[in-house]
Structure 1
Amino acid sequence: MELVWLEDFNALAEHGSFVRAAEARHITQPAFSRRIRSLEQWMGVKLFVRTPQGTTLTEAGSHIQVHAFEAIGRLYRLRAEAQEVAGKAAKTLQFAATHSLSFSFFPRWIRRIENGAPIEAIQLHSDSMLGCEQLLVQGEVPFLLCHLHPEVPSPLIQDQFVSQKVGDDTLIALVASSLLGTHAPNQLPYLAYTEASGLGRIVAHRLYGSRDVLALKAQFSSHLAAVLMSMALEGKGVAWLPKSLAEQEIRDGRLVRVLDPCWDIDMQIHLVRPRTSLSPAAENFWTRVADLSADV
């Protein structure tokens, strides 16, 4: 049994496609397929049903899914704990944050948390939501800063992680001012988020997960909100952008609302951590965050 097999298992269970899962794992599809077969051989059962439309978990695969997720997190956290005991872990607070929050929210937020008591050292890992979730699960970072929506379940297992709300944000359908009025709103080119984006999960739920469906066909996609904002500014279409990211462009009139406010999507900004004990520095930071949140 190899740890990478369990990580591959989780990737395939999430993506439902050998091609997309292999891309997410940064290996070739044949190599990825061989590792999945090796895991199934080690387990002695089939874990996936393979069809031309994609893959789904077998009953046995569904049974081990939660346990595989938990085992990966525990192993990586055990490694981090061992490094701390051996004195090899740097006394640096590690954060994973989605790109949009790294650009806009994180600097102001961390400055407010410090409030005259500077943190000794900080390392910020900026990635897609999927990449940040993997860093947290693998124990590479103790904290994840991300957007969450109460109606869009997080793939993070609730029994293993806990979060605190640290802010609010809103996704707004925006276009360049030059594009306003040139098309009916549902005929505008749509600038979409990819599957790796947490914002994409939230937007997809609003557009396609309710009775009021807004039929838009994506003509460009990226997991980066900043890239979609650049495309919107160039007049390439409509994008649902976080207010925290596009605030200056909205204020300057370069980006304008194109849909009724009923299509705005209210979100929360959360700090997520494992339920297991963290380093003293990380636990102290979590307490500071909780105290600040209680005062808001």
Structure 2
Amino acid sequence: METSALQAFIAVAESGSFSLAGEQLHLTQPAISKRIATLETQLNARLFDRIGRQISLTEAGNTLLPKAYGILAELEDARRQLNNLKGDVGGSLSLSTSHHIGLHRLPPILRQFSRQHPEVALDIHFVDSEVAYEEVIHGQIELGIITLAPQQRARELIYSQKVWSDPLCFVVSSEHPLAHSKALTLQELSQYSAIFPGQNTFTHHIVKGLFNAHHLELTVSMTTNYLETIKMMVSIGLAWSVLPRSMLDDELSEIKLIGANLERDLGYIHHTERTLSNAARAFIDILHSNREGL
């Protein structure tokens, strides 16, 4: 069984498309189909149901998927161990980060790393923090630089380390009815609609937890996981939201709330049972040197 066939299988399973999998792996669709057909022949099992243009995993495919992730992750782990023996900081470093961290926190880190280790090829993915957790679990990326989960589940085999505190503030536009309020309670704020990241995001869970603690409903009129988009929609008066204090500017007015202090932890994650490459260790060293008073 060739690893290229497993890579093709995972790409089709994740994208739900032979053509998209081909684009991802820089192969033609017939080449992807051939690899899947070879794999199905070797395993004597159909891995995908093909109904019209819809592609879905069969029971056999669902059984194979976590195994395929594991096999490729073990091979990558072996490669890192062998490369680490050389003592060099080189090769490639795959990392995922959120758009917000990529824009507001990572540039000086990346600049320093690239200057110190120009021989390392950075493979950077911009994804939601929650997606980065899954990518680390499956061995798809080595490091995640993300918003850390409010509650870590031990079974996830994830090591997380806080690097930055990210204070959050409640914001509206200068034209919003709440813009000139001296102080509000959560009860008063709950009467107005909000714009928030999706329910599965860590930031949503943090704010929802605050409202739940006070037995209040959070009324969300719109959702998007892009904080810059939320800022724009708030700035034109559509609703209130919670944004990192670093994003506060003349377009937004901060709402002072009684007894409401929120912040997120930003940092890095990696798999506890995978070998870190020398490049990843060097990147982590730079992250530690930039920690904010921790």
TM-score, normalised to structure 1, is: 0.64
- Output the CA distance in 2 between the equivalents of 1:115 and 1:82: 25
8 Å CA contact retained: 2:203, 2:264: no
8 Å CA contact retained: 1:173, 1:257: yes
1:18 is matched with which residue?
Answer: none
RMSD of aligned Cα (Å): 3.8
1:72/1:213 Cα in 2 relative to 1: closer, same or farther (>3 Å)? farther
Matched, 1:108 2:108: yes
Greater radius of gyration (CA) = 2
2:116 is matched with which residue?
Answer: 117
2:74 is matched with which residue?
Answer: 78
Which structure 2 residues correspond to residues 174-253 of structure 1 after superposition, within 5 A?
Answer: 174-181=171-178, 185-208=189-212, 210=213, 212-244=214-246, 246-247=247-248, 249=249, 252=250
Shift of 1:280: 2.0
1:277 is matched with which residue?
Answer: 275
Shift of 1:262: 2.8
- Residues 139-193 of structure 1, C-alpha deviation per residue, up to 9 Å, x if partnerless? 22111111236xx3135735x2212221110121111111143795323221122
1:173/1:204 Cα in 2 relative to 1: closer, same or farther (>3 Å)? same
- Output the CA distance in 1 between the equivalents of 2:71 and 2:161: 24
Matched, 1:164 2:166: no
- With 219-228 and 113-122 compared, the bigger mean Cα shift is at 113-122
- Output the CA distance in 1 between the equivalents of 2:292 and 2:192: 43
8 Å CA contact retained: 2:96, 2:132: yes
- Output the CA distance in 1 between the equivalents of 2:178 and 2:293: 44
8 Å CA contact retained: 1:185, 1:259: no
- Output the CA distance in 2 between the equivalents of 1:295 and 1:130: 26
8 Å CA contact retained: 1:174, 1:232: yes
Q: Structure 1: which 5+ runs fail to align?
A: 9-26, 44-67
- Output the CA distance in 2 between the equivalents of 1:271 and 1:165: 7
- With 198-207 and 282-291 compared, the bigger mean Cα shift is at 282-291
TM-score, normalised to structure 2, is: 0.65
SS in structure 2 at match of 1:101? helix
1:118/1:82 Cα in 2 relative to 1: closer, same or farther (>3 Å)? closer
- Output the CA distance in 2 between the equivalents of 1:219 and 1:232: 12
SS in structure 2 at match of 1:178? coil
1:109/1:139 Cα in 2 relative to 1: closer, same or farther (>3 Å)? same
8 Å CA contact retained: 2:129, 2:148: no
8 Å CA contact retained: 1:172, 1:263: no
1:216/1:290 Cα in 2 relative to 1: closer, same or farther (>3 Å)? closer
8 Å CA contact retained: 1:188, 1:237: yes
- Output the CA distance in 1 between the equivalents of 2:130 and 2:284: 23
- Output the CA distance in 2 between the equivalents of 1:258 and 1:236: 15
- Output the CA distance in 2 between the equivalents of 1:202 and 1:106: 23
1:213/1:242 Cα in 2 relative to 1: closer, same or farther (>3 Å)? farther
Code of the residue aligned with 2:178 in structure 1: it is: G
8 Å CA contact retained: 1:169, 1:242: yes
SS in structure 2 at match of 1:163? strand
SS in structure 1 at match of 2:140? coil
1:13 is matched with which residue?
Answer: none
2:27 is matched with which residue?
Answer: none
State how many pairs are aligned: 234
1:243/1:124 Cα in 2 relative to 1: closer, same or farther (>3 Å)? farther
Code of the residue aligned with 2:237 in structure 1: it is: G
Shift of 1:237: 0.4
Matched, 1:138 2:138: yes
Q: Structure 2: which 5+ runs fail to align?
A: 1-5, 15-49, 84-89, 182-187
Shift of 1:116: 6.3
